[in-house]
Structure 1
């Protein structure tokens, strides 16, 4: 963060200096919500939380060197006091981030949204852009009204690029995040079924995602909307933006196109990247054919920011997985391959994961450990039964469905005539691990995937931990 005095931060955040704070004291950053991350010069943001109250850890943060505490409960520690509880503290944090953005005229802000693939694309983009200059990006899925400003506040006078993942739980959320950190380039990956239970329809999801392109500056001011031409709901957003539109995808109408996509035995995709009249071969380090679209989005942004085609291709080939539980491939007991994709799940990402499982398994036996896809609302039964049919049609040899709500997956797989694989339904992750111990054979390939509420990363981690302990 750029250095700011407490009285300047108080003015920006609409707070008041309290406790032992001195107006001339300087915050140099970082801004943190975990007292264990406090270092000299930090600003500790105290939030109530569901289990603990951050204000109770203010003294620890100050003892670690924090210059002040931003909070809503009066403290004896050096404090910037906000009236109105956590909601106003979060609003103050957003105001601070917006002010810092205004002090960073050389920093290009890129926003990334979509129903799936946001975090992976953000991670890829950050790795590629670091070749051009200092780049700030969030860790994991730090993409809401708290994580968004905290990421922005990591930027300083040396930052050249800020890559932000923007998510929505409802209409207006992305627009709000874009007011905190106005992007010049916006990327929309896809519009799928994730969160349809919250939004009510895919059209409503598209409406929310499109708030990103609506927030972009006009083409004459450098605004660029990077849109997936293979998703009609995404390319339809071109009419909602004044920015210049750059299309990416596999179709001929794409400005940044992937051709000749091939999936290797290791599950990694290779393709020809074409931008204009030039092309270059790319072989991704990430697992899954669905990563090609993510890589094309990154290539489109990198090209807009001046990176040469050959450099883009090389950077994409070297960029690896950063955030956890997203197509992590590791070795389990007896040479078993474990694919941990347990961070989240929706119908589209489940389909991509099953295609990857088939590619990895080939002549080996495939096992799918699947949990529920959350937030599907009234579509829950239908979508889980459809997933079960896809499991059978993908040639999966063994299915373990975890949790009572995953029962429709079993119904779906059993409805497919001619599928003779093994299927089990278990109550929880412990039973899933027990079932696998009795089921797995050497060289099997195991996919573990479900929504976060299923907690299936525990299954994958236990399998790989057993191998590591040998």
Structure 2
């Protein structure tokens, strides 16, 4: 964090120092809400939880060197007392962002946010000290936590902006106002919060609407809802795309073995890119990152080099590895929505393999009235991608089988185009089925919303040999 005295922290966070806290002590470390990570010169954020109360670990954090705990009830160690810990962290983050010299970059979209943020973070780090959201820690706690990691020499702050309703992105932007904002796409996701795709689009448009006239809005020309946001921003508009005319385009796209190659075309010239990331959806992610980096002053050659050298940074996202029995696994199990599920089964279809292609697919959550139709369409996409076998896991995934088999009953071992599709009640049953079905040379995709296929992925990882 930017060095501040405890008195300054208390003022910024809207709290009061305890009698045991030294107001002149300077905070030189970060703010941590996990006591195991609390260290010398830092702060500990005590959050009451369902299973544990952070206040019970304040003494441990202090023993490890934390100067004070941001607390909401009396404790025996130095403290900054506040009414609400997360609200206090938010106020502190707003202060840090205002004091920082870093260029702030925001990334949002229905899917691809984390991968694109990781790409931008890696490319920015080639230009100067960079802080980026860890994983998809993009909510009301993760966002200010990330902002507070900024240090005096930080040049770039890359933030993933998530929303489950209208107004959420604006709230995050107000904490750390971005000067560059990228909107990747608008899709069917979190309908429990948004209600419909048009409301989703309105929520995502909050990022370009927030940008100042001297900023830049990076918009997907291939998504008509995103492209329309150009009319609602004061900032310079930079477009990216593969199909529609765009400022940053990919031509001569070659899927190769699933790690795509293409010619990157920018307003300043062209260069060749050979991605190390799996899946065709990363082409759009790379173009968005290219637009951001070009706006920061990088040229086409350096951008292409950075994209070609970029690696996967976040867990359970297109993590491709080979087990010691010769089975190739695509662990994309972190989360799922219709767009990312479709991209994942297409990636499985493109993966070179001597055996069969098997997709283990869990529920896509928060689809409300569209749940059955979206899962049925997923089954159809798996069949169209050339998947040989589909295992649908858990309640609500039965329509995947219907789509994969062309409407045949799930009791039929083979459906349309020779696809085998089976519905199982839970992950334990999926693991048991895989034990009987997997053969050396097969390729397996594991994907579902959040934890719904994590046990399957972890079972397959237990015999992991090498990352690809």
TM-score (norm: length of structure 1): 0.95
Q: Deviations over 1:84-135 (max 9, x none)?
A: xxxx22111111111111111x310000000000000011111111111000
Aligned to 2:116: 121
Task: Provide structure 2 residue ranges, at least 5 long, that are not aligned to the other structure.
Answer: 408-414
Instruction: After superposition, give the CA deviation of every residue in 1:361-403 in whole Å (9 maximum; x if it has no partner).
Output: 4664110000000010111111111111222222211111111
Contact 1:366–1:446, Cα closer than 8 Å, also in 2: yes
Deviations 1:16-59 (A, max 9, x none): 11151121122112111000001111110111112111111111
Identify the residue that residue 245 of structure 2 maps to in structure 1.
Answer: 253
1:333, 1:464 within 8 Å by CA — same for their partners in 2?
Answer: no
Residue correspondence of structure 1 range 299-338 to structure 2 within 5 A: 299-338=290-329
Q: What residue in structure 2 maps to residue 232 of structure 1?
A: 224
Distance between the aligned counterparts of 2:232 and 2:52, measured in 1? Answer: 42
Is structure 2 residue 412 aligned with structure 1 residue 420? no
Query: What's the CA shift string for 1:53-80, capped at 9, x where partnerless?
Result: 1111111001100000011111121010
Equivalent residue, structure 2, for 1:2: 2
CA RMSD of aligned residues (A): 1.4
The equivalent residue for 2:182 is: 187
- Distance of 1:19 and 1:429 partners within structure 2: 53
- 1:439 and 2:455 aligned: no
* Corresponding residue to 2:449 among 448, 451, 460: 451
Moved more, 236-245 or 355-364: 355-364
Q: CA deviation at 1:322?
A: 0.4
What's the CA shift string for 1:142-175, capped at 9, x where partnerless?
A: 1011111111111111000000000001111110
Deviation string, structure 1 residues 218-262 (Cα, Å, up to 9, x no partner):
1xxx21000000000111111111111000111352011111111
Quickly say closer, same or farther: Cα 1:347–1:377, change in 2 above 3 A. Answer: same
**Structure 1 residue 6 displacement after superposition:** 1.2
Aligned position for 2:32: 32
Q: Structure 1 residue 99 and structure 2 residue 91: aligned?
A: no
**Cα distance between partner residues in 1 of 2:167 and 2:49:** 23
Alignment gaps of 5+ in structure 1: none
The within-5 A match list for 1:11-410 is 11-83=11-83, 88-104=84-100, 106-218=101-213, 222-265=214-257, 267-276=258-267, 278-361=269-352, 364-410=355-401
Contact 1:333 1:463 in 2 (8 A): no
Question: What are the superposed Cα offsets for residues 300-351 of structure 1, whole Å, 9 maximum, x if unpaired?
Answer: 0000001121010001000000000000001125211100000111111111
2:346–2:382 Cα contact (<8 Å) kept: no
Structure 2 CA distance for aligned equivalents of residues 269 and 122 of structure 1: 19
Q: Is the 8 A contact 2:268 2:300 kept in 1?
A: no
Alpha-carbon distance between aligned partners in 2 of 1:260 and 1:351, rounded to the nearest angstrom: 22
Q: Deviations over 1:182-204 (max 9, x none)?
A: 00000000000111232110011
User: How many residues end up aligned between the 2 structures?
Assistant: 459
User: C-alpha separation between the residues in 2 aligned to 1:275 and 1:415?
Assistant: 43
Whole-Å Cα distance in 1 between the matches of residues 320 and 182 of structure 2?
A: 27
CA distance in 2, matches of 1:148, 1:67: 23
Separation in structure 1 between the aligned mates of residue 27 and residue 322 of structure 2, nearest angstrom: 45
DSSP-derived class of the 1:157 partner: coil
